[in-house]
Structure 1
Amino acid sequence: MASPASRLVPSLPRLSPAALTTGSRSPWRSLRTPSMRWWSAANLVSNAGTWMQLTVQNLLVLQVTGSAAMTGLSLAVQAGPGLLLGLLGGAAVDRWPRKRTATLSQAGLGTVALVTAGLVAFGALSVPALLTLAAVTGVIATVDAPATALLGNDLVPTKDVPSAIALGSAVHSVGRLAGTALAGVAMVAFGPAAAFVANGLSFAFVASVIPFLRLIDKSGEPGARPVTAEKPAEKTAEKTAEAEPEGSDGTAREGLRYFMRRPRLVALAAITGLGAVFGRNYALTLAVLVTGPLAAGAGAFGTVSTALAVGGIVGALLAGVLQRPSVRMVAALAGIGAVLQIAAGLTPTLALLIALVIPMAVVESVSDTAGTTVLQTDPPAHMRGRVLGVWRSLSTGWGLIGPPAIGLLMELAGARAALVVGGLVIATAAGAGLLVHSRRTTPATPAVSLTKATNAPKAPAAQAPAPLAAAA
């Protein structure tokens, strides 16, 4: 007879390794879980609110300060905690209950948005208050980002995590389009404070949904630690992510040490970092290419941006069919994207550029989903928050380095050369990585003399492949 606890969460059959690569390949398969449907709806509302605020925020900062440099400083202050405190935020996510952490972080972000709305409405938003609120938002986000990412994955079986991540990407894109459109309406009808109020309420909506989400018990899946049968299923599912194995100290330093000793994670960081610095800065590189060498106007760049958005959504849908992405896949996609980037740098016409931009965005979106899936499923459950914390620090760093570096390269060599050189760097690194990987996974065939075969000692067993080869 089924226990009351077993009725809280639908039970999952024990999955064999083959089961992870079979089954439905629908990009929407993660929506079969009711909690994921609620989570996606909440995220759509939240993303729309966030983009409403972001659309208005920079204009508001310019009005308050009258300085473009101060606008950039406010963005840097908000991003700074991710660079400096990302690992500590990830460690907190590993230590604290996932649902409670995400609820509190969402409530905190909503509170900051509503406080900002009040200051804007009463004309009391000063530069010190603006920078303080930006810093507080950045600190909360160091916990909120890994908590919400891992919570979404806890709502579906492991084999459906790529679908959940791809769905999140599609929701982000739709929310961005909706939020940007609604921002103009809200600003005209109610003033700039309305965008901050809407964002605050969107965070409140997410926080109200989280307590009712049901986490999937993944204890029956390969690699999961056994759980005690008498524990309630909902408690078991959440405790699985929190439990520290014997010998683990739960510190941020342990998370960094784990990351650096995991070759596939280091390789993923290397190829993604190169892509972030020498590619992907298309809002900058393609804008200069379109308005410079191609001699088109701002409207033409708007068309290119639309093509990028369309390609991103298509890529998210394609990425949803992935079930076991790998670092090798990410490297291969980086190489393909680099070749397309080189072609874009050499293109003679705007029409050809637009035709290249769509597959560039598709490849980027699929690669992002594959890499994110590796990050969120490769580490053991008790280490995933810290791994995402390390990743947040790294991604913030190369996000700050990339635009100035590629901008300097364009100043020195021009937009076309920047795209071509950047593509060559990425393609060379991706190709070298794939070559090294193939050599490490190809077993050596020992040469045995036929004349001495009967007297030769027995050949030793082939050695196990290196960690990177085995993992990827």
Structure 2
Amino acid sequence: MRWWSVANFVSNAGTWMQLTVQNLLVLQITGSAAATGLSMSVQAAPALLISVLGGAAVDRWPRKLTAAVSQALLGMIAFTTAVLVALDRLDMTSLLVLAAVTGVVATVDNPACALLGNDLVPAEDVPSAIGVGALVHQAGRLVGAALAGVAVGFLGTSAAYFANGLSFLFVASVIPFLRPAAGAVRHEVAKPGPRASGGELTVREGLAFFARRPRLMALAGVTGISAVFGRNYGLTLAVLVTGPLAGGAGSFGTVSTVLAIGGILGAVLGARLRRPSVRLVGALAAAGGLLQVLAGLSPSLVVLIALVLPMAVVESVSDTAGTAVLQTDPPAHLRGRVLGVWGSVGTVWSLGGPPALGLLMELAGARGALVTGGLLIAAAIGTGHLLHNRRVPAPVLLRTGDTETPGRPALSTAA
């Protein structure tokens, strides 16, 4: 698990180096902000369309081999991009094709690597392992964004892509040496049922399991409303800081740094969770919504910074708990497919959230968007909790002689 964490840290740092540089590269090629958004959408589109197939592949193929091959393929794509950039041969068409191929490979790589990490610890330690993974992700994000500026400044834009390619190959080289821990959930390669001629039934099984599992549907609802009306702090807080609070780029940089620190603290706390639940995810998301309301009402930058830290901590712990539920609730042979369904659903939120939030800011301003969004999150989760409690039957009192005891109602002969 230590080796896997180191490999993921290196990979995350490389990925964030590339992501930091890629938007600037598109702007240099096209001079269009719309083209930048298009490149991001093209890379995300495969997750929307074929994540369920990628998840089915993860359940059917040996996990270690699947993760190693997908990491190697992502490395080759990064090296190809680096060469094209270095030779000044990268145009918008080539970049979009490479982004689309990256998105296709990621539909297999993301669930494979996520579940591979869970194989390296005993079953009871999986929530902690997911928390460690969140901590590694946040640390890699900080280091990668910082290294991107250094690499581009001294070595040029292609250096970021080349470094990312090396990071993928490093992960691929570590995977063959990983061994499952004693007591880990055993992954058995899923096979299609007797009526299946291919992967169609396995995909349907994943969709059916997700749709019939109330706690997963509740988790999707909580995460979805939080993703659409909150969490896009890079958008809402940037407008709030530079607008009503009259700050500049440096002030927003301070807010972004505090958000990153809060994310790391939240990941540390999340790693201590032993029994995460959807109820906990909902409570944290509602608390985050209320903190967002207070942030929208902040009279000064100092007050905003004081609120941003707990906002980021709550969000990070909530994400860690939700991921633990998602990866441990399904049976082992269905987890890849369930993650595939989640990948498609999550892509809808990531693509639809920013435009919806942008429209809300146009109508209500940055403060209004934060306040309205936070209230909607808290109200929706609170309403869902009340409706859930109303559906749970109360204990029935059974009379035994002169004593009343709680128990189940007696069954009639018709029942």
Render the CA deviation track for 1:402-438: whole Å, top value 9, x for unaligned: 1110110110111111111111111011112222334
Matching residue of 1:405: 356
Residue among 289, 296, 310 paired with 1:359? 310
| TM-score normalised over the length of structure 2 | 0.93
Counterpart of 2:142 in structure 1 is: 177
Distance 1:123 1:257, change over 3 A: same
Whole-angstrom distance in 2 between the partners of 1:61 and 1:275: 30
Q: Deviations over 1:342-390 (max 9, x none)?
A: 1111121111111111000000000000000000000000110011111
What runs of 5+ residues in structure 2 fail to find an aligned partner? none
Tell me how far 1:444 sits from its aligned partner.
2.8
Worse-matched range after superposition: 118-127 or 103-112: 118-127
1:115 aligned to 2:80?
yes
Which residue among 187, 210, 213 is the counterpart of 2:178? 213
1:215/1:238 contact within 8 Å kept: no
What corresponds to 2:232 in structure 1? Answer: 281
CA distance in 1 between partners of 2:57 and 2:114 (Å):
14
Find the aligned partners of 1:247 and 1:274 in 2 and give their Cα distance: 39
SS in 1 for 2:275: coil
Give 1:15's aligned residue: none
Q: Which amino acid aligns with 2:221?
A: A
Letter in 2 for 1:395: G
Which residue number corresponds to residue 50 of structure 1? Answer: 15
Larger CA deviation: 271-280 vs 298-307: 298-307
2:127 equivalent in structure 1: 162
Distance 1:256 1:346, change over 3 A: same
1:417 to 344, 347, 368: 368
- Does the 8 Å CA contact 2:360/2:369 hold for their aligned counterparts? yes
Shift of residue 450 of structure 1?
A: 8.9
Structure 1 residue 82 corresponds to structure 2 residue 82: no
Query: How many Å separate the matches in 1 of 2:27 and 2:124?
Result: 46
User: Distance in 2 between the 1:330 and 1:143 partners?
Assistant: 26
Show structure 1 runs of 5+ residues with no match. 1-35, 225-236, 463-472
For 1:245 and 1:198, locate their aligned partners in 2 and report how far apart those are by CA, in whole Å.
40
State the one-letter code of the partner of 1:125. Answer: L
Q: How does 1:295-306 map to 2 (within 5 A)?
A: 295-306=246-257
The code of the aligned residue for 1:41 comes to V
Aligned with residue 340 of structure 2, among 383, 389, 398: 389
When residues 345 and 214 of structure 1 are mapped into structure 2, their CA distance, relative to the original with a 3 A threshold, is: same
Count of matched residue pairs: 405
User: 1:443 & 1:217 partners in 2: Cα distance?
Assistant: 41
- Structure 2 residue 107 is the aligned partner of structure 1 residue 142: yes
| CA distance in structure 1 between the partners assigned to 2:371 and 2:282 by the alignment | 18
Please name the residue that 1:377 is paired with. Answer: 328
Are residue 60 (structure 1) and residue 11 (structure 2) matched? Answer: no
AA of the residue aligned to 2:111? P
* Secondary structure at 2:330 match in 1: coil
- C-alpha displacement of 1:245: 9.3
RMSD: 2.2
Q: CA deviation at 1:441?
A: 4.6
| Structure 1 SS opposite 2:101 | helix
* Native 8 Å contact 1:347 1:353 kept in 2: yes
C-alpha separation between the residues in 1 aligned to 2:377 and 2:195? Answer: 37
The match for 2:409 is 460
Shift of the 245–346 alpha-carbon distance from structure 1 to 2, 3 Å rule, reads same
Shift of 1:45: 0.8
Cα distance in 2 for partners of 1:288, 1:437 equals 37
SS in 1 for 2:396: coil
Once the two structures are TM-superposed, the CA of residue 210 in structure 1 deviates from its matched residue by: 0.2
- Over 3 Å counting, the alpha-carbon distance change for 1:447 and 1:418 in structure 2 is farther
Check the 8 A contact 1:102/1:148 in 2, yes or no: yes
State the 1:70 CA deviation.
1.4
Shift of 1:327: 0.4
Q: C-alpha separation between the residues in 2 aligned to 1:187 and 1:343?
A: 39
CA deviation profile, 1:300-331 (whole Å, cap 9, x unmatched): 11111111111111100011110110001111
* 1:312 is the counterpart of 2:277: no
- Pair 1:460–1:78, CA change in 2 (3 A): same
